[in-house]
Amino acid sequence: MTSTTPSRLSRRAALGTALAGALLLTSALPATAATPAATARSSSNSHPTGSHPHPLPPLDTDALRAAISDLNHPQVTGAQVRVDGTAGRWQGTAGVADIKTGRPIGPNDKFRIGSITKVFVATVVLQLSAEHRVDLNAPIQRYLPGLLPDRFPPITITQLLNHTSGLPDESGPDIPDTSTPEKVLQHRYDQWTPERIVATVTRAKKMKFTPGSKQEYRGINYVLAAMLIEKVTGHSYGKEIATRILRPLHLNNTSVPGNDPKIHGPHVHGYLAMTDGTLKDATDFNQTVAWGEGEMISTTRDLDRFISALFTPGKLLPPATLNQMFTLPAKHVHMLDGSPARYSTGLQTVTINGITVWGKTGERYGYYSAMVSTKDQQRRAIYSFNPTHRDATQTQLALRIANALTTPPAPTHS
């Protein structure tokens, strides 16, 4: 089995959107399991934060254990799940953290969280908004003058955070060729700056669509959001995340690595299958290519603590500001494929087996993870697994976890 990897940054973003599914992408779910995101739109507006229309079903721990025990569909080297909340708790692992030593995955092992980074960035931007230091309705061009071409129309901060910016696809000769897993690893130590990343989209002559008219998940939106944080505060976005979120919540195993390619301390290794099927360790990887939108490192315990605090009004965000995280764009705004918008200001939503969850998925080479919760925190779930192929097969395991989290246990017969 060969790995299919995108050859350009824009294709990487497109693949990430397709794979963000599983637990959060409705089009990837069986018709019997998921309802359109429009359902989540109506439920998010009819039930205030902290409420839920009915109790959740008991947690099916046998199904969760079975979901992560199959390490061959897709091929993964390890998996871990942490479930918390008032409707049940469970924690389990499968596989190993290191295939060379055979060490099992520990409860505090670190892993790359990919695009879950965006939730941290969005939280800081919304905090700055609550402090009246950022106007979410103002164009990013006001805060970062000269960065985007004059031919681009005004793009508001909200349009960046909810992926309705319409920014063009990446292009240019400096984008590394990642068409094979071997070429991916050839570029693992490449150094990127945010300005260089932005330059890959400013070469285009026109926008993909009018800002605010459609929705398309794009990492570049959060590169600009992180640059906004740095311009307004005078500090690196990583320092602001640490000061405002990590230290107050004691998220001691969460970090923004910058140009450090290593994961320090106990961690789960990520692997990439080469074209001949052999596995190469892809753990060491300079994540500046995902600056501001996908570079962070964390653990299941830290992410559970983060989303619990985030969904508690007044803990990280005032209630009115937090409500924006549970508000989707206007109903006329659809994804490019015509499906309902599913990204809010910093989060993503779906209704699975009648249960609406909010959160975010993330992926880097060798890592795939998710952080989700019901609004009332009856059920919070963090998972991470280590796929050896970065392609659509990753959704198989994520779908098993999603259904295990939302389906009542089978009745027992005495």
pLDDT at 411: 78
Token code pair at residue 54: 């009915």
Averaged pLDDT, 22-44: 37
Distance CA 218, CA 293 (A): 9
Token code pair at residue 12: 């990487």
Residue 12 has pLDDT above 80, yes or no: no
**4 within a domain of the structure (yes/no):** no
Residue 191 has pLDDT above 60, yes or no: yes
Please pick, among 3, 10, 44, 115, the residue that the annotation labels catalytic. 115
92-110: per-residue pLDDT in tens?
Answer: 999 999 999 999 999 999 9
Q: Long-range CB contacts (< 8 A, 24+ apart) of 342-345?
A: 342/24, 342/25, 342/26, 342/37, 342/40, 342/215, 343/162, 343/163, 343/215, 343/217, 344/44, 344/162, 345/122, 345/126, 345/136, 345/158, 345/161, 345/162
**pTM for the full model?**
0.90
What phi and psi values does residue 355 have, to the nearest 5 degrees? Answer: -110, 120
**Whether 220 contacts 161, CB under 8 Å:** no
Distance CA 321, CA 261 (A): 35
The DSSP code for 244 is I
Distance CA 296, CA 255 (A): 6
Q: Which residue has the higher pLDDT, 362 or 45?
A: 362
**21 within a domain of the structure (yes/no):** yes
For 24, the domain range is 9-406
Residue 176 has pLDDT above 80, yes or no: yes
Distance CA 278, CA 269 (A): 15
48-88: per-residue pLDDT in tens?
Answer: 334 445 789 899 999 999 999 999 999 999 999 999 999 99
255-293: per-residue pLDDT in tens?
Answer: 999 999 999 999 999 999 999 999 999 999 999 999 999
**363 within a domain of the structure (yes/no):** yes
pLDDT at 17: 43
**103 within a domain of the structure (yes/no):** yes
Distance CA 136, CA 155 (A): 10
**2 within a domain of the structure (yes/no):** no
**37 within a domain of the structure (yes/no):** yes
| 115 assigned to active site | yes
Token code pair at residue 297: 């490192």
The DSSP code for 156 is B
- The CATH number of whichever domain residue 381 belongs to comes to 3.40.710.10
99-141: per-residue pLDDT in tens?
Answer: 999 999 999 999 999 999 999 999 999 999 999 999 999 999 9
Look at residue 90 and give its three-state secondary structure.
Answer: strand
Q: Which residue has the higher pLDDT, 173 or 35?
A: 173
Residue 5 has pLDDT above 60, yes or no: no
What does R_g of the chain's alpha carbons equal in angstroms? Answer: 20
Q: Which residue has the higher pLDDT, 239 or 412?
A: 239
pLDDT at 276: 97
Distance CA 371, CA 188 (A): 26
pLDDT at 410: 80
**413 within a domain of the structure (yes/no):** no
Q: How many independent structural domains does the chain possess?
A: 1
pLDDT at 96: 98
Distance CA 24, CA 43 (A): 16
In the structure, what pLDDT confidence band is assigned to residue 363 with cuts at 50, 70 and 90? very high
**412 within a domain of the structure (yes/no):** no
| pLDDT averaged over every residue in the chain | 89
DSSP-derived pairing of the beta strands 296-298 and 279-281: unpaired
